[in-house]
Chains A and B, each alone.
Chain A
Amino acid sequence: MSADLDLRLPARAENVIVIRQAMAGLAEAAGMDARRVADLKTVVTEACNNVVLHAYEDGDGPIEVSAEIGEQGLGVTVRDEGRGFRPSAADASASLGLGLPLIAALSDSFAIRGGAGQGTSLSARFALVPAEPERSEPQPVGDELRMQVSPGDLVRPVLARILGALAARAAFSVDRLSDTMLLGDAVSHRRADDFREGRVEVAISDGDGTLDIRVGPLAEGAGERILSGLDIPGDGGSLRALARSVEVERRDDSEYLVLEVAG
């Protein structure tokens, strides 16, 4: 069965039930099961509520609803020509801010498009028969921060802000903070081909007044090249002295540069 429905009517609270019932009628005719119809009614209602409450500052504007049924199930889009989403503490307390979470929880997928002054459209999709939800367990995550960024001019400002925030959180002194920044600059501002994936990868974990900075996985030999890059030409000194320890570590057939800096 393939079917389409388009509705356009003033965005008023009393019209939401009309839209809800039209959608329920379409879904039931297409053989959607009762629980899915219940979910669809809630999602369409909450999407329409957003339009009624938020879209138009002065007077009525239109609310447009289109639905299509195909092999992929039922897709519905609720559209307005309003001012776009705006945060409002007063509105949030009136409906508890539950509208969007309900839409997210009860649809198989949803998307919001729009922007200031462009109107907003919210689309949601429902299988006609509920599928067993596939639970995707989150990947285990350690305490460390992992950064991956394109090589070039982006690395320095991004890493500087991250190191600055972590060092401040770990109560580093101003001197040690600037030493850490210098080391961060030296180890991260490398060519893409020093990194196995072609992107600069840095992992940082903070301990008791220390930061462990792990750079890599690196291309073969890149660890030694970065270490050499820490040497200060001419006077025999090295930025390595700014860190508590600096070493090249091999793990899982990959090379990492590991630095420990203390506050």
Chain B
Amino acid sequence: MRSGEVGLERNDEGYTVVAINGEHDLSTAPGLRSQLRQLIADGDPVIVDLTAATFIDSSILGTLLQARKDAGEAGVGFAVAQAEGAEAVSRVLEITGLRRDLPVHPSRDEATQQAIRATGDPG
């Protein structure tokens, strides 16, 4: 069990990948929320990668949806990826319909392309 780790990978091409590792819930949601808010304010595309997450709860889903909204309003590209993720994460994405609605891309590359395309395109 790993709890609450978030890795930031800034890329030369100007986008940032936020890699969510281990278990995330109400205790880590505020930190993730402020990190995403700051990255979106910086104006570069943001990709959240859930592949290494082993657990997320509704507060994390709420955080991702809020970030998508904030990014849309700011004209900043935002996309979520999960490739071959943990059962607990996949189940909540499926059952809430968020895999389709967020949407969650099946690879980090695909999410990155989407985030770059959406930057400068206020939603």
Binding site for B on A (CB under 8 A): 13-14, 16-17, 20-21, 34-35, 38-39, 41-42, 45-46, 49, 52-53, 93-96, 98-99, 101-102, 105-106
Chain B residue contacts of A14, Cβ below 8 A: 27
Chain B residue contacts of A39, Cβ below 8 A: 88, 91
19 contacts between A and B (CB under 8 A): A13-B26, A13-B27, A17-B1, A17-B23, A17-B27, A20-B25, A21-B1, A35-B91, A41-B55, A46-B58, A49-B26, A52-B26, A95-B58, A95-B59, A96-B58, A96-B65, A98-B96, A102-B92, A102-B96
Chain A residue contacts of B109, Cβ below 8 A: none
Chain A residue contacts of B3, Cβ below 8 A: 17
Question: What 11 additional pairs, Cβ within 8 angstroms, besides A38-B88, A101-B96, A102-B92?
Answer: A13-B25, A14-B27, A20-B25, A21-B1, A42-B57, A42-B88, A42-B91, A53-B26, A96-B62, A105-B95, A106-B91
Are A38 and B87 touching (Cβ within 8 A)?
Answer: yes
Given contacts A16-B27, A17-B3, A17-B25, contact A102 B87 (CB under 8 A): no
Given contacts A16-B27, A53-B26, contact A102 B95 (CB under 8 A): yes
Chain B residue contacts of A99, Cβ below 8 A: 58
Are B87 and A45 touching (Cβ within 8 A)?
Answer: no
Chain B residue contacts of A93, Cβ below 8 A: 62
Interface bin, chain B: 20 to 34
Residue of A nearest to B92 (CB): A42
Residue of B nearest to A24 (CB): B1
Binding site for A on B (CB under 8 A): 1, 3, 23, 25-27, 55, 57-59, 61-62, 65, 86-88, 91-92, 95-96
CA distance A234 to B91 in the complex (A): 73
Chain B residue contacts of A101, Cβ below 8 A: 96
CA distance A82 to B26 in the complex (A): 19
Are B61 and A98 touching (Cβ within 8 A)?
Answer: yes
Kindly identify which residue among A16, A21, A35, A105 contacts B87, using a CB–CB cutoff of 8 Å: A35
Are A45 and B25 touching (Cβ within 8 A)?
Answer: yes
Kindly identify which residue among A16, A20, A38, A95 contacts B91, using a CB–CB cutoff of 8 Å: A38
Are B26 and A96 touching (Cβ within 8 A)?
Answer: no
Residue of A nearest to B24 (CB): A17
B8 to chain A minimum Cβ distance, whole angstroms, is: 22
B72 to chain A minimum Cβ distance, whole angstroms, is: 16
Kindly identify which residue among B23, B25, B65, B95 contacts A106, using a CB–CB cutoff of 8 Å: B95
B91 to chain A minimum Cβ distance, whole angstroms, is: 5
Are A45 and B65 touching (Cβ within 8 A)?
Answer: no
CA distance A98 to B101 in the complex (A): 15
Given contacts A38-B87, A41-B88, A42-B92, contact A16 B25 (CB under 8 A): yes
Are A98 and B26 touching (Cβ within 8 A)?
Answer: no
Residue of B nearest to A93 (CB): B62
Chain A residue contacts of B87, Cβ below 8 A: 34-35, 38
Chain B residue contacts of A49, Cβ below 8 A: 25-26, 57-59
Residue of A nearest to B95 (CB): A105
A106 to chain B minimum Cβ distance, whole angstroms, is: 7
B6 to chain A minimum Cβ distance, whole angstroms, is: 15
Are A46 and B61 touching (Cβ within 8 A)?
Answer: no
Chain A residue contacts of B96, Cβ below 8 A: 98, 101-102
